[in-house]
Structure 1
Amino acid sequence: MKSINWGMIGCGDVTEVKSGPAFNKVPNSSLVAVMRRDAEKAEDYAKRHGVPKWYDDAQQLIDDPEVNAIYIATPPAQHEVYALMAFAAGKPVYVEKPMTLNAASAIRMKDAALNTGVKLSIAHYRRAQPMFLKIKSLLEDEEIGAIRLVQLKMLQPEDSNQIANSATNWRLDPAISGGGLFHDLAPHQLDLLVFFFGEWIYASGLSTNQSGTGLVDDLVTGQVWFKSGTIFNGTWCFTVSEQDKTDLCEIIGTTGKISFPVFGHQMTLTKGGVAKVYDFSPLAHVQQPMIEKVTAYFLGQTENPCSADEAILSMQLMDRFTAKS
């Protein structure tokens, strides 16, 4: 292949700005077809974004001879089945996070990709963004010494995300999402842990529905012991007051610490009582740096920017944190 002609399965909110337009802004990449089960909505998306073709059947899009790579942007419950269909057609897959509903499903996807010899990359796109690449560089350069502890808090009021908390939203149906807002937001955070610190040797957690409403847990805690010796403690709660809303991760080393919001644009390096602030401009399309890397990977120009093995590590953490027995 000299260029990637993407077929996109799923035309929901995540594709409107975060990913969809970026496929036509990356070298050797173009979005040539989209699919949504609602044909009218698929056509509307295609016309608004200048996409030549639209379908209401995933197999038809996958079989389109002009399409040579598949982007799966549906809710997690459909990721595995669509990925297997693409692998059977010999077309590489870029799949949204979380990779799928649970680690067992993720392992099946990985095995299918290996058995068919088809490439698979996961959309943990924050690992390609400038702020997180800077943090990784600081850690590798030992700017804060040996890493001892990572502390993360993600606290949100119940009404802080109108889209996520609407009564009909799929994120609140565990059969479709895997487990509520934790499964929607935590994959970004947990993948960054894997990106920064690699493999882990122990993980456990607690998960509960404190509010007693809905079908999903709204409080999750987790601990991880990484092979490097670093210990992680995380808390996610989606029923706090507005004044307690928090998005903070602190990486604490022997000579300083790095503090940052996972869903923000500013990080702080503190050493010897002196704080240095780094500001990063918001990206027009947050997935564009990752899509550029995935395109290059599919063209055989570079390594996989997020492999199934890496994504499985964060899927396993979510499973451990939310296990009920």
Structure 2
Amino acid sequence: MIAMKENRTYKWGMIGCGSVTEVKSAPAYQHTEGFELFAVMGRDLSKAKDYAHRHQVPNFYDDADTLINHPEIDAVYIATPPDSHEFYALKVAAAGKVCCIEKPMATSYEACKRINAAFKNAGLPLFVSYYRRSLPRFLQIKQWIDEGKIGSIRHIHWQFCKPANELDMSRTYNWRTDINIAPGGYFDDLASHGLDLFVYLLGSINSAEGLAENKLGLYSAKDTIKGKWQHDSGVTGFGSWNFGAESREDIVKLYGNKGNITFSVFGESPIVLECDDETTQLSIPNPEHIQTHHVENIKSHLREGALHPSTGETAAHTNWVMESILKNKIEVINN
């Protein structure tokens, strides 16, 4: 088992060299003081080599076991599609390494529980890349909530729409719309970010239900979803996600008894606070490498013992919420 290091460098290995890692994540690990991206792994060795050379990563492999069990590697970032997350995560836990998994954590809540059990039994920290919990724009919203700027929060509403893209229209294979990997389609990939953020802002969800349909017939996964839920605090929520709309829309509104907060989950439009007959708009841009603050918080967790906001336990809860919505019935969470 790896011991927590106070000042020594953590050497990371990354499994998967997909588009999410090019700008969003891998450079964040490289640029974080005390971290080194030491090795990458891809199933195609030539592509892994190209990735390593472009990103100045010293080692590359086409075998995950070689990377996971490398004696110099302290931690592993799993950046593959979610159907392989559990497979690799259990190997990382068995090897006694720290781990961060891309979101969603796994393809099912039960798989998330198995992953968490493995890391708990090994006494190892586990993180999941719900990086919005670490972004300054959402920390500002949380500060407004905690300061009671809009009073007692009653309801949250999220409307998200986007048009079908070229992959969808051409019926080209895309794991994000394969029902065996992402039953909710883009809902799993995109809505997971918002639902996880709402739990961070408002607390755990204890019931959820929804209606999930495939209206376009472009792929096997769902493309139109409606969901409602309730937080432990009593705050109710409603979301509507349409992945075949004419135009893109991403609007979240928090309703309190003294005001409202409006923001976007994915866009960088100003966050808006309405209270006391005044309107405050703040523009808080995201960093160039959007996982920068998330990775910095991993370092703080490992070096200083500061609890990271996105762990295996919080991410598993998000999986449970998504599954409850897709099952089309209310369930009470049972851990």
| TM beyond 0.5 | yes
1:3 is displaced (CA, Å) by 2.0
1:282 is displaced (CA, Å) by 3.1
Aligned to 1:190: 195
1:305 is displaced (CA, Å) by 2.5
Which of 105, 110, 113 is equivalent to 2:111?
A: 105
Aligned to 1:226: 231
Aligned to 2:298: 294
Secondary structure, counterpart of 1:31 in structure 2: strand
Secondary structure, counterpart of 1:284 in structure 2: coil
Give the Cα separation in 2 of the matches to 1:189 and 1:11.
25
* Counterpart residue identity of residue 229, structure 1: G
Unaligned runs of 5+ in 1: none
Asked if 1:260 is matched to 2:263, the reply is yes
Asked if 1:39 is matched to 2:42, the reply is no
* Counterpart residue identity of residue 13, structure 1: S
Give the Cα separation in 1 of the matches to 2:273 and 2:173.
41
**TM-score, normalization: structure 1?**
0.95
1:164 is displaced (CA, Å) by 7.3
Q: Indicate how the Cα distance of structure 1 residues 55 and 163 shifts in structure 2: closer, same or farther if over 3 A, else same.
A: farther
Give the Cα separation in 1 of the matches to 2:285 and 2:234.
33
Q: After the TM superposition, which residues 1-325 of structure 1 pair with which residues of structure 2 at under 5 Å, given as runs? A: 1=5, 2-159=8-165, 162=166, 167-242=172-247, 245-265=248-268, 266-323=270-327
Q: Is the 8 A contact 2:210 2:328 kept in 1?
A: no
1:239 is displaced (CA, Å) by 1.2
Q: Is the 8 A contact 1:103 1:316 kept in 2?
A: yes
* Counterpart residue identity of residue 223, structure 1: K
Give the Cα separation in 1 of the matches to 2:218 and 2:277.
44
Unaligned runs of 5+ in 2: 330-335
Give the Cα separation in 2 of the matches to 1:104 and 1:188.
19
Give the Cα separation in 1 of the matches to 2:211 and 2:115.
27
Q: Is the 8 A contact 1:204 1:224 kept in 2?
A: yes
1:119 is displaced (CA, Å) by 1.3
* Counterpart residue identity of residue 290, structure 2: V
Secondary structure, counterpart of 1:176 in structure 2: coil
Secondary structure, counterpart of 1:251 in structure 2: strand
Q: Indicate how the Cα distance of structure 1 residues 262 and 140 shifts in structure 2: closer, same or farther if over 3 A, else same.
A: same
1:174 is displaced (CA, Å) by 2.2
Give the Cα separation in 2 of the matches to 1:59 and 1:305.
29
1:163 is displaced (CA, Å) by 6.2
Q: Is the 8 A contact 2:168 2:219 kept in 1?
A: no
Q: Is the 8 A contact 1:151 1:234 kept in 2?
A: yes
Q: Write out per-residue CA displacement over residues 27-79 of structure 1, whole angstroms, 9 at most, x where no aligned residue.
A: 21110000001101100000000000000000000111111000000000010
1:187 is displaced (CA, Å) by 1.1
Q: Indicate how the Cα distance of structure 1 residues 163 and 195 shifts in structure 2: closer, same or farther if over 3 A, else same.
A: farther
Q: Is the 8 A contact 2:209 2:328 kept in 1?
A: no
Aligned residue pair count:
321
1:324 is displaced (CA, Å) by 5.5
1:300 is displaced (CA, Å) by 4.7
Secondary structure, counterpart of 1:299 in structure 2: helix
Secondary structure, counterpart of 2:272 in structure 1: strand
Identity of aligned residues (%): 38
Give the Cα separation in 1 of the matches to 2:152 and 2:328.
34
1:273 is displaced (CA, Å) by 3.9
Give the Cα separation in 2 of the matches to 1:26 and 1:194.
27
Give the Cα separation in 1 of the matches to 2:262 and 2:328.
32
Q: CA RMSD in A?
A: 1.4
Q: Write out per-residue CA displacement over residues 112-140 of structure 1, whole angstroms, 9 at most, x where no aligned residue.
A: 11111121111100110000000001000
Give the Cα separation in 1 of the matches to 2:168 and 2:263.
23
Q: Write out per-residue CA displacement over residues 154-189 of structure 1, whole angstroms, 9 at most, x where no aligned residue.
A: 111113xx4677612211112233431111101110
Give the Cα separation in 1 of the matches to 2:205 and 2:321.
9
Secondary structure, counterpart of 1:175 in structure 2: coil
Q: Is the 8 A contact 1:172 1:214 kept in 2?
A: yes
Secondary structure, counterpart of 1:222 in structure 2: strand
* Counterpart residue identity of residue 301, structure 1: G
Secondary structure, counterpart of 1:5 in structure 2: strand
1:197 is displaced (CA, Å) by 1.2
